[in-house]
Amino acid sequence: MTYPTASTLDADSPDEAYPSEESDEGMAELDTAPVDEGEDLDLDEEEVDDPSANSSVPGSVPGSAHRVGPSKASVRRVGAKVIQLQGADDQDLMVLASLYGVEPDPLEVTVAVMTSDRSALMPVRDLTDIAKATGFAAMVTAQEKGRGRMKAVHALLTALGGASTGSLNGNDAKASMVIAQDVLALPKSAKESLDRVLDLARRTS
């Protein structure tokens, strides 16, 4: 699976946030659709019908169901993700946790990454779309996302340290203008953090 790189953003400076010309440069688009990243994770035990399973147990009925655990591959993937997140930068872990709405704890984030729908990464895609535009077009792109998704982008900007306001303006037009300015003004450090966050969001290490 190929992930976008936020570092391809060539955002205008805050003083030049709204140039009239369009720009073809921007972040690569993130595909937030469900993807196949290897074996499906299934940590729940399942029942199987094994005629020989209970043959040695007195009073057992041949062919009765018994319990089997998760596959070794699934356990290894979970363990590897926990270890990766334990070694992650605290800020990166916090940003990733904010996307999934969980505490910035390696175990909690691991559970979220391995079990949640990839739509949790939609704010990254929306931020990418806004960053690909410039000036008035960036504001329009933000407003077209709708208030709910603008709030998610604002939360991501806040986690990245790039939000200029503590809360989203109640007026959608004004809110979209601020979001566009903030996205285009993201510092290099925030873009690099977002690159690392996307890597941490992978289900395979």
DSSP 58-115: TTPPTT-EEEE---HHHHHHHHHHHHHHHTS-HHHHHHHHHHHTS-S-HHHHHHHHHH
Q: Which residues of 7-24 are buried (b: 16+ CB within 10 A; e: fewer)?
A: eebebbeeeebeeeeebe
Compute how many other C-beta atoms are within 10 angstroms of the C-beta atom of residue 203.
21
Domain count, the chain: 1
Confirm whether 114 is domain-assigned. Answer: yes
Q: Are 160 and 97 in contact (CB under 8 A)?
A: no
Pull the structure tokens for residue 175: 């809110």
Q: What are phi and psi of 134, to 5 degrees?
A: -140, 160
Confirm whether 28 is domain-assigned. Answer: no
Confirm whether 45 is domain-assigned. Answer: no
Q: Are 140 and 177 in contact (CB under 8 A)?
A: no
pLDDT at 70: 80
Confirm whether 156 is domain-assigned. Answer: yes
Confirm whether 93 is domain-assigned. Answer: yes
Task: Tell me which residue range forms the domain holding 108.
Answer: 72-201
pLDDT at 69: 78
Confirm whether 98 is domain-assigned. Answer: yes
3-state secondary structure string across 57-70: CCCCCCCCEEEECC
User: Tens-of-pLDDT digits for all 205 residues of the chain?
Assistant: 444 455 445 444 444 444 444 444 445 444 444 444 444 444 444 444 444 545 455 555 555 555 667 888 889 999 999 999 999 999 999 999 999 999 999 999 999 999 998 899 999 999 999 999 988 999 999 999 999 999 999 999 999 999 999 999 999 999 999 999 999 999 988 988 999 999 999 987 6
Confirm whether 27 is domain-assigned. Answer: no
Confirm whether 100 is domain-assigned. Answer: yes
pLDDT at 46: 44
